[in-house]
Amino acid sequence: MLFNTYEPWKFAFSSESSDLDEIDVDVEFNKSRSWGIIGVPFDSTCSYHHGSRYGPTIIREASFGFEQYNVAFDKLLDAEFYDFGDLNIIHGNCAKTADLLKECVNELVGANIKPIIIGGEHSISIGPIKALADNEESGDLSDITIIHLDAHRDIIDEYMGEKDSHATIMRRVYDLNPKELIQIGIRSFSNEEKEFIDSKDNITTFLAKDLNSIDEDNNAYYELVDTLADIEGKIYITIDMDVIDPVYAPSVGNPTFGGLSPEDVEIIFETLHNSFVEDKIDVLGFDVVEVASNKLGDSTAILAAKFIHDFLTLFG
């Protein structure tokens, strides 16, 4: 068992053991490592629709509606991965919760297991990202590209006087000096965020209004695919479920119309997978956040479970 976690139940198809002392991952510290899931039921800085604390539970439940064979990618989910349960979070304290999560992820990394984090609100992403930065020789993200799918930039420095918040998460990530930050599906941001982005040369943005539907009749499609295909080295992927249009994913913390479709995310995954099999990229970690519902069978939770299933199929 990881430090400070407990087990509700496991994501479908995960390996039986969740005790690090019983897991023998006899591989080098590279992309062939196993994956480990941690749920983070935290939503204390939510500014609109609460409920993402239930996300880890209903996403796991939804995962049992899938077959092991992944039809979308004509591939079997045969990755070795473990579900280590949920973090014992500190309600109302974003910074301390993130620190606890960082400790847990450091335990995973020490066992040659890569993190998959299920939120919870988006603020929790800083925990695994800080852990990965700590394990870099540079001590920061200067060799890691962050791929951020979201309706919002989340890069304001303070939100209602708070530095640690779902609305400031990407600013805290940027403070760790990423090699590049690629934001996809953006359609809501402040003027302060726009000015900050415009002043940086290592932040690339793909607005939802330009992508529309990602298909070959849209020039932005080629630009996005080319940008993703050009990435080399280490990457971390974070998906805020509000990147998806609320027609498909209504139960999120801050729903915003005009978003991506589930098929758009499949294209993004497939593009990155092509680089993965060519050894151009090393995927260090992944999170899915902001499913805000306590209803079993919720369509947003089903879609989030599908994204995790797809990710494990392609990068496991």
pLDDT reported for residue 23 = 72
Dig out the tokens for 104 from the structure: 């847990």
Domain boundaries along the sequence of the chain: 5-315
Q: What pLDDT band is residue 268 in, cutting at 50, 70 and 90?
A: very high
Partner residues linked to 145 by β-bridges: 180, 235
> In this structure, what are the phi and psi dihedrals at residue 133, rounded to the nearest 5 degrees?
-60, -40
Strands (E), the chain: 5-6, 34-40, 69-70, 75-76, 81-87, 113-119, 144-149, 180-186, 203-207, 233-240, 281-289
Mean predicted lDDT score pLDDT of the chain: 90
Q: What pLDDT band is residue 3 in, cutting at 50, 70 and 90?
A: low
What is the pLDDT averaged over residues 135-153?
97
* Under 8 Å between Cβ of 58 and 308: no
* Under 8 Å between Cβ of 134 and 55: no
**Which range in 6-10, 227-231, 291-295 is most confidently predicted, on average pLDDT?**
227-231
Q: What pLDDT band is residue 45 in, cutting at 50, 70 and 90?
A: low
pLDDT reported for residue 125 = 96
| pLDDT one-digit tens code per residue, 71-103 | 999 999 999 899 999 999 999 898 999 999 999
* Under 8 Å between Cβ of 285 and 147: no
Please state whether 36 falls in left (phi above 0), alpha (psi between -120 and 50) or beta.
Answer: beta
pLDDT reported for residue 162 = 73
**What's the rounded Cα separation, in Å, for the pair 52 and 45?**
11
* Under 8 Å between Cβ of 301 and 65: no
- Give the strand pairing for 113-119 and 34-40: parallel
| pLDDT one-digit tens code per residue, 223-256 | 999 999 999 999 999 999 999 999 999 999 889 9
Q: What pLDDT band is residue 115 in, cutting at 50, 70 and 90?
A: very high
pTM of the model: 0.93
**What's the rounded Cα separation, in Å, for the pair 70 and 87?**
29
Q: What pLDDT band is residue 30 in, cutting at 50, 70 and 90?
A: very low
What is the pLDDT averaged over residues 153-162?
82
Amino acid at 116: I
| pLDDT one-digit tens code per residue, 164-209 | 777 899 999 999 999 999 999 999 999 999 999 999 999 999 999 9
pLDDT reported for residue 109 = 95
pLDDT reported for residue 28 = 46
Name the CATH superfamily, with its identifier, for domain 5-315. Ureohydrolase domain (3.40.800.10)
pLDDT reported for residue 158 = 77
Token pair 């020789």 is at which residue? 137
- Does pLDDT of 27 surpass 70? no
**What's the rounded Cα separation, in Å, for the pair 152 and 163?**
17
